[in-house]
Structure 1
Amino acid sequence: MTGTSLAPRPRASRWLLAGWMATAAFVGFRFVPAANASHTHTGWDQKHIATIHGNDGPAGGGSGPGSLDEEYCIMSETSAMPASTIAPFIQETLAALSFDTIWDGSADWRVDLWRTQKYCNEYSTADRNRIEIEYRVRETWASVCGGDIYACVTSVSPVTDSSGAHQHYKYMNVHLKREQMAALGSTTRARKFINHETGHVLGLRDPEYYGHCMHSVMHNNLYSSLGCTDPVWHPTPSDFASVRSIANRTN
């Protein structure tokens, strides 16, 4: 199913995550010591989904998401790729592959991802406003992401953590280009974009300068222009350690 309207709730690009992904030109074991591999945000403004600090349901199960779990919906805004095509692939990438290659279950299940039953644009405004993460596919996000070749994540509705020590965000929007998702027969490339942008949702950052490359889905060969050559398409042990560090953080 396709849709052309933007979200009815106030999900404009209020905050853009530092570092953008290019499309063409920049073309097992979780519990390891924190490695700072993905450059987590520090200080007052920390760009990650607020729910990452808690989990109020059974790990990886239960009858539905709790208030501290992460619900996500998917929608297409291009007739060239209906949501019915991309939604199962995004769900599989996030939650249905080998446990050491998916974000679901990270940080001792404080990342507990639940796909909604309907596409984002099929919900009423009130119901849609209860969904923490949206994955949107469009031909271009130039007006949101700062250029036609980019994908990005926007952070919306800042709230203060219960510790009072930092600010994080109630909603996150993942903006993916159809071209990035188009060759689903070449699943590795599409999964790189999905996992990279989801890393931003969970608080991870891009390389900061040429040669700033680590074994991380945030530092893979999509950043060849910065000298990064790692072909990894999934979160790595260092990525999982970084997300756990964010989930544990109170400052």
Structure 2
Amino acid sequence: MSLHSPKEVSPSPRSPRWIVLAWVAVLSVVAWRHVPVAYASHSHTGSTQLHISTIHGNNGTATAPGSLDEQYCIQSHTGSIDQTRMANFIEETLAKLASANIWDGTGSWKVDLWRAAKPCHQIDSATRASIGTEYHINTDWPNVSLCGTYYSCVVHDNPVYEGGHTHFKWMYSYLQAEHVSGYDTRARKFINHETGHVLGLKDPAGYGTDCQASVMHNDLYGCPSTVWYPTANDKAAVTRIGNYQNTY
């Protein structure tokens, strides 16, 4: 387990403080905010790698998740975002569109995404501790390091050492309501971008640099590409991570 016990508080139900074992992975911003964001062909390397621990395996079935599959829950913290509509939209974005446009199935199903039936805060603590990723939506995140008012971000928690490196059992994607309230391709860009960070993709050195066909670095991040879905570049990078090949 972790030094942090699961419990139902906001903004993080499983981490009372953002000072120990919490790693801020990635920032996403509205189009006019000029900050570094993403370079999909690069992943985290070395002894600590910022990705979900389950990405290296798969043991579920076609109808039920296994312990090595990527389960996630979703919770709206604001009345401006309808819980059911947003949960359905995120699930559709990740797993229910055309196979070429979703993360689900990446890396020979090492990425096998399963949505929990209930919002995060309605899940009992023991079950919730087994769910690797949580998506939270609010108008701002003043208590989440580096999210604040403008940013969506991913935080990694509960480090586990396996396979020659440390990765993380719990991931929190904190989405700004303004980024996803349109339920459109722009919203999908933010959801897919943050999910890329959950799966181990990282940011470039600067805004508008190293542009390529990637949801990790599109027009929201200073590049000409308007792609809103994980591209072949993105999926190849995640596949390398899943196969323990992210050494560059």
TM over 0.5: yes
The residue number in structure 1 matching 2:13 is: 8
Bigger mean CA deviation after superposition, 119-128 or 151-160: 119-128
Aligned to 2:111: 111
Percentage of identical aligned residues: 47
Moved over 2 A (4+): 3-13
Q: Note if 1:25 corresponds to 2:28.
A: no
Aligned to 2:137: 137
Cα distance in 1 for partners of 2:126, 2:60 equals 23
Alignment correspondent of 1:148: 149
What residue ranges of structure 1 are gaps of 5+ in the alignment?
28-35
Q: CA-to-partner distance for each residue in 1:116-156, whole Å, 9 max, x for gaps?
A: 11110101222211111000000012431424210000000
1:211: Cα distance to partner?
2.4
Higher strand share: 2
Residue of structure 2 in register with 1:207 after alignment: 204
Aligned to 2:174: 175
Quote how far apart the aligned CAs of 1:37 are: 3.9
The Cα of 1:80 is off from its aligned counterpart by: 1.3
Report the counterpart of residue 187 of structure 2 in structure 1: 190
Q: 1:247 aligns with which of 220, 242, 245?
A: 242
Q: Say which SS state the counterpart of residue 218 (structure 1) adopts.
A: coil
Aligned residue in 2 for 1:126: 126
Structure richer in helix, relative to its length: 1
Q: Is the 8 A contact 1:4 1:77 kept in 2?
A: no
Corresponding residue to 2:231 among 228, 231, 236: 236
Q: Which residue of 2 aligns with 1:218?
A: 216
Distance in 1 between the 2:102 and 2:72 partners? 15
Q: TM-score, normalised to structure 2's length?
A: 0.87
Quick check: 7-16 or 130-139, which moved more?
7-16
Name the counterpart of 2:99.
Answer: 99
- Which runs of 5 or more structure 2 residues have no equivalent in the other structure? 1-7
C-alpha distance 237-140 of structure 1, shift in aligned 2 (>3 A): same
Deviations 1:179-207 (A, max 9, x none): 111112xx110000000000000000122
Q: What is the letter of the counterpart of residue 15 of structure 1?
A: W
- Comparing 141-150 with 47-56, greater Cα deviation is found at 141-150
> Are residues 239 and 12 of structure 1, via their aligned partners in 2, closer, same or farther at CA, if it must alter by over 3 Å?
farther
Q: Figure out how many residues of one structure are paired with residues of the other and give that number.
A: 230
- Separation in 2 of the partners of 1:240 and 1:188? 19
Which residue type is aligned with residue 21 of structure 1?
S
Larger CA deviation: 94-103 vs 200-209: 200-209
